[in-house]
Amino acid sequence: MDKKTKILATVGPASDSVEILEGLINAGVNVFRLNFSHGTHEYHASTLAKIREAEKNAQKKVGVLQDICGPKIRVGKLEEDFYLEVGDKLYFTKEQIVGKKFDEGKYELCINQPQILDMLREDEYIYLYDGNIRARVIEAGDKIVTEIENSGKLSSNKGVNFPNTVINIEVITPKDKEDLLWGAQHGVDFVAVSFVQSAKDILNVRKILKEHKSRSHIFAKIEKFDAVEKIDEILEVSDGIMVARGDLGIEVPYYKVPSIQKRLIAKANAASKPVITATQMLLSMAEKEMATRAEISDVANAVLDGTDAVMLSEESAIGVNPIHVVEVMANTIRETETIYPYGKFEVYPFLDETDIISSSTARLADRLGVEAMISLTSSGKSAKKLARYRIKADIYAVTHDERIARSLTIAWGIKPIMNIEASNLNMMLGKTLQKGIERGLIDKEKTYIVAAGYPAGVEGSTNFIRILKKAQIEYYTDMVL
């Protein structure tokens, strides 16, 4: 049984061979993630070439997501590790220094983005080392003085978070700009933008991509508290979002992450935009052959929440058995989808007139029990609009553009089955059905429903619905014989 929820897997040393990549595709991976926090451009170019070779071998279309770093905020170099105790004072200075202990219970250090210190106020918090150490600001000024609220060891270059502070810094770093140029030149399908704070950050990335003639779809990583607060404006200008639960669980109280995840997924579903649920989904399988029951339940709950895709990070990049991890995730998805709440017709408002067409198509498909819905789409949007109703029938996406076809690899329930040269609607439908029969995707004895735009090839013009039974299928296929 095919799954409808997609799998996004990070490529790394454990999975960067053609053989393993092909195995991952056959096990259920739909999109591969290139993590630009690690590796050189040469490494990523080699990996991308291997992905395309594996894709060709497996004869299954897969997408590639480029995940750019963003402004990683870290402490500077320390003379030696700080063993911090409750009540110790930690001084943050704007000068670039080597951190040291200068008195009993007193330490000083710097961070790599010192301008942030001017934005801090008393009683705000600084979290260090992935949130393991919590420091409260007790004095703001030329130096920031904090008091440690829980003990822990701090080493050089560990991460820093500011869960109460709106950080007005440039999200796109010089390295990110170089990486975006690389992505544009190599035709990545998706770009994930880290530490998004507002719609402006996404618009800046879109401007850069446009300048380099890139058509990559932009995903906003929601991992800061202010991004959660501004999710509506961010979602409006993004092509999709990623619920990045790692940093998000530091930026907001950990117990709020599940409810935030559900709200973000619901908002993305309503907007017909793909949403990825990420971080620590099967983390124990990075080192072990078996997942915990809690991890399995985490994947299942994300599926039931309505996520389009679930993501693997360390598990597939450096794990002991990446293919097995994907098999476990795929099996969990398939089992969970047997109890999936299909047919979400009353949930979403109509945002434009094409939503009415999509809703009508999905309702007809559901009532008729069709084998599949066929979406002839020039931009991919009409297929995504069908997907938001979460119908049990497959969605076959047919487009005349390979890049659009790959952009649909991350969307729930959509199978980008073929590319057809743009022509008049009847000929396109005839060619689609004929090729579908040849490939075993279309059965004349079963019922299908097609949604398309007339005139063909005009984005946002979906206005055509047709039920296809044996007589109609033969009528259209006869046109191309």
3-state SS, residue 162: coil
- CA–CA separation, 204 and 443 (whole Å): 47
- CA–CA separation, 220 and 229 (whole Å): 14
Neighbours of 352 (CB within 10 A): 10
Closest CA to 193 of 404, 412, 36: 36
HSE (CB half, 13 Å, CA atoms) of 205?
Answer: 37
Would you state the structure tokens that stand for residue 248, as one six-digit string?
A: 């998000």
HSE (CB half, 13 Å, CA atoms) of 435?
Answer: 14
Contact between residue 375 and residue 350 where contact means Cβ atoms under 8 Å apart: no
Contact between residue 368 and residue 447 where contact means Cβ atoms under 8 Å apart: yes
- CA–CA separation, 335 and 30 (whole Å): 18
Would you state the structure tokens that stand for residue 412, as one six-digit string?
A: 């729930």
| Rg of the Cα atoms in the chain | 24
DSSP letter assigned to residue 36: T
Distance linking the first and last C-alpha atoms of the chain: 33
Q: SS3 helix, strand, coil % of the chain, rounded to 5?
A: 40, 25, 40
The H or E element that residue 463 is part of is strand 462-468
Q: Is 342 exposed, middle or buried (0-12, 13-18, 19+ CB in 10 A)?
A: middle
- CA–CA separation, 202 and 458 (whole Å): 26
Any idea which residues carry the catalytic annotation? 33, 74, 221, 279
- CA–CA separation, 270 and 394 (whole Å): 20
Closest CA to 286 of 249, 324, 260: 324
> How is 128-145 classified by DSSP, letter by letter?
ETTTTEEEEEEE-SSSEE
The H or E element that residue 397 is part of is strand 394-399
3-state SS, residue 85: coil
